[in-house]
Amino acid sequence: MGAAFFYHMTSQPVEVTLPMLLGKARDAGWRVAVRGADAARLDHLDAKLWEGEGFLAHGRSGGPHDADQPILLTSANELPNGASCLVSLDGADIAVEEVNSSERTMILFDGNDGDAVARARTQWKALTSAGCSAQYWSQETGRWEKKAES
């Protein structure tokens, strides 16, 4: 049974946090699906993940090789790459069944955006009320610290 890890980003944007978490997930041997609610945002992250020394091999959903991608950026609810780790961006929906059947679910949200914080709180309540294990991580001090666990 998996767990939902909530990442409250306050000092670093998703362009910094996401690659770090994806690298850790790949180091664990997990295939990853990054689910976003906004296609333009996923396109932007797609380009960012190819940049720099620490680029991460990945694909954008809708191609002929989705099943082969170690990291797949998608807005769909399906996981064609057989992901065992699911990342939610910008309030993208996560089902209780997905949390329970995955190795890890990560929910990243911008702590400087009141709507994003409210959405994450709603997701926390829904998932924990359904019996999902969850952890809340914050970077308000500049480094990641676990603040709560359920």
Position 110 scores a pLDDT of 95
CA-to-CA distance for 36 and 33, rounded, in angstroms? 10
- The DSSP element (H or E) to which 19 belongs, if any, is helix 14-27
DSSP-based three-state secondary structure for 81:
coil
| pLDDT tens readout for residues 98-107 | 999 999 999 9
With tokens 């019996």, the residue in question is 131
Q: Which DSSP state fits 130? A: T
| pLDDT tens readout for residues 1-12 | 689 999 999 999
Q: Write down the H helix ranges in the chain.
A: 14-27, 39-49, 96-101, 114-129
CATH topology of domain 3-149: Rossmann fold (3.40.50)
| pLDDT tens readout for residues 32-90 | 999 999 999 999 999 988 886 667 889 999 989 999 999 999 999 989 899 999 999 99
Q: Which tokens in the block code for residue 3?
A: 């767990």
Could you tell me the residue ranges of all domains in the chain? 3-149
Position 104 scores a pLDDT of 96
- The DSSP element (H or E) to which 100 belongs, if any, is helix 96-101
Q: How far is CA 140 from CA 10, 16, 108, 110, 125, in A?
A: 6, 15, 14, 11, 21
Length of the chain measured in residues = 150
**Bridge partners, 73 (sequence order):** 34, 60
